[in-house]
């Protein structure tokens, strides 16, 4: 349940916030977030076009409030978060915390970069796929909602006048509800909306758009209709994400990762997704990785050669249950992005609860 925006990154939200505040003071409170998001999407699109990077341009094909993911080679990438180092201790630079979006912010968090190897990748993904198929989960009925609760954090390059620095949003709880057909939902995330009550995800949106579900914004019903043949599924992923991301292989890996983090695939599809990931070139195993709440596990990962960031899917070493994900800066980036140093945790999340509930905003 990748709840919305086309991989919006936190840097663009921060940069446009002051302009947004000046132009929307007279709007009703419930409208602010919607118009803020639309403006940020336009900023991202303009920057991407300036760099001749292919990005989806039709807002009616995407949905709002996706988990943060760095945009294509932008100098103001979403960076660091309140991550946990491999030794179980968070390392950070000095500095005074700031207030941004209702969350305390501070300097970059770092981790020990785990060693990656291609050895044992197919075998590990086979075991993960088998465990996913055996676990299964109940089907979602009309009137029910998929509930996903996670702990997540991210940071961004913060510009104040002529000074740019790396600042992080605090680790916080994110809650998402979505109906099986994807037309009704709710989001509570203090990094997205200042209101503790959250905001509706129900369609149509305020412009009257009712986007169709797709790989980047799937509903449960959409996922239930996907093929479970790994070869066919991989071909579909490459086709539907053509032109996105920094490379076709990295985008395919990222698309599968998003489905793991905030959606509810049927058990057969979950198993197929892992078998599909095994066919993507460049996938590695990181023997020691830690999720947002400090749970240790083994990671299936892939390095984005353009951004220098490695995306890691973290699994329990014994049960092979998906724990969460993180992105780590492994290689130094160019330009202003060089402020995000190797060892920086760019994004982290931990899945705390994933269940079917009988009403919107109900919890298990």
Query: pLDDT tens-digit profile of 314-361?
Result: 999 999 999 999 999 999 988 888 998 899 999 999 999 999 999 999
Confirm if 184 and 205 have CB atoms less than 8 A apart. no
Q: How many domains does the chain have?
A: 1
Min mean pLDDT across 63-67, 75-79, 151-155, 174-178 is at 75-79
Residue 125 counted as domain residue = yes
Q: pLDDT band at 67, cuts 50/70/90?
A: low
Q: Is the dihedral of CA 271, 273, 276, 282 positive or negative?
A: negative
Residue 123 counted as domain residue = yes
Residue 80 is predicted with a pLDDT of: 28
Residue 101 counted as domain residue = yes
Structure-token pair, residue 90: 């968070």
Tens digit of pLDDT for each residue in 275-325? 999 999 999 999 999 999 999 999 999 999 999 999 999 999 999 999 999
User: Regarding predicted confidence, which is higher, 39 or 335?
Assistant: 335
Residue 121 counted as domain residue = yes
Ramachandran assignment for 65, one of left (phi > 0), alpha (psi -120 to 50 degrees), beta (any other): left
Residue 363 counted as domain residue = no
Residue 152 is predicted with a pLDDT of: 94
Residue 1 counted as domain residue = no
**Global pTM value:** 0.76
Reduce the DSSP state of residue 346 to 3 states and report it.
strand
Residue 34 counted as domain residue = yes
Burial class (CB in 10 A: 0-12, 13-18, 19+), 96: exposed
Domain that holds residue 190: 10-357
Residue 157 is predicted with a pLDDT of: 84
- Residue 81 predicted with pLDDT over 60: no
């Amino acid at each position: 349940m990748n709840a919305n925006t086309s991989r919006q990154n936190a840097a663009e939200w921060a940069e446009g916030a002051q302009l947004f505040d000046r132009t929307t003071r007279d709007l009703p409170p419930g409208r602010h977030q919607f118009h803020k998001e639309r403006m940020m999407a336009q900023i991202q699109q303009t920057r991407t076009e300036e760099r001749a990077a292919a990005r989806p341009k039709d807002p009616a094909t995407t949905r709002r409030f996706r988990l943060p993911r760095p945009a294509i080679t932008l100098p103001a990438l979403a960076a660091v978060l309140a991550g946990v180092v491999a030794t179980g201790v968070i390392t950070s630079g000095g500095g005074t915390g700031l207030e941004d979006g209702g969350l305390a912010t501070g300097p970059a968090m770092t981790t020990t970069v785990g060693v990656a190897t291609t050895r044992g990748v197919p075998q590990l993904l086979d075991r993960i796929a088998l465990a996913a198929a055996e676990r299964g989960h109940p089907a979602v009925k009309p009137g029910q909602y998929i509930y996903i609760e996670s702990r997540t954090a991210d940071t961004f390059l913060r510009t104040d006048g002529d000074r740019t620095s790396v600042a992080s949003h605090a680790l916080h709880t994110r809650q998402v509800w979505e109906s099986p057909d994807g037309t009704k939902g709710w989001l509570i995330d203090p990094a997205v909306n200042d209101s503790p009550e959250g905001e509706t995800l129900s369609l149509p949106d305020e412009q009257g758009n009712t986007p169709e579900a797709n790989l980047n914004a799937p509903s449960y019903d959409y996922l239930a209709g996907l093929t479970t043949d790994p070869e066919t599924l991989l071909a579909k992923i490459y086709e539907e994400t053509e032109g996105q991301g920094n490379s076709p292989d990295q985008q395919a890996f990222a698309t599968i990762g998003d489905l793991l983090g905030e959606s509810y695939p049927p058990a057969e599809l979950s198993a197929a997704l892992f078998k599909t990931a095994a066919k993507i070139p460049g996938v590695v195993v990181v023997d020691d990785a830690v999720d947002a709440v400090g749970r240790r596990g083994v990671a299936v990962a892939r390095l984005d050669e353009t951004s220098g960031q490695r995306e890691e899917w973290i699994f329990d070493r014994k049960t092979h249950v998906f724990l969460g994900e993180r992105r780590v800066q492994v290689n130094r980036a160019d330009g202003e992005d060089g402020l995000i140093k190797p060892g920086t945790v760019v994004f982290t999340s931990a899945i705390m609860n994933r269940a079917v509930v009988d009403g919107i905003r109900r919890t298990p």
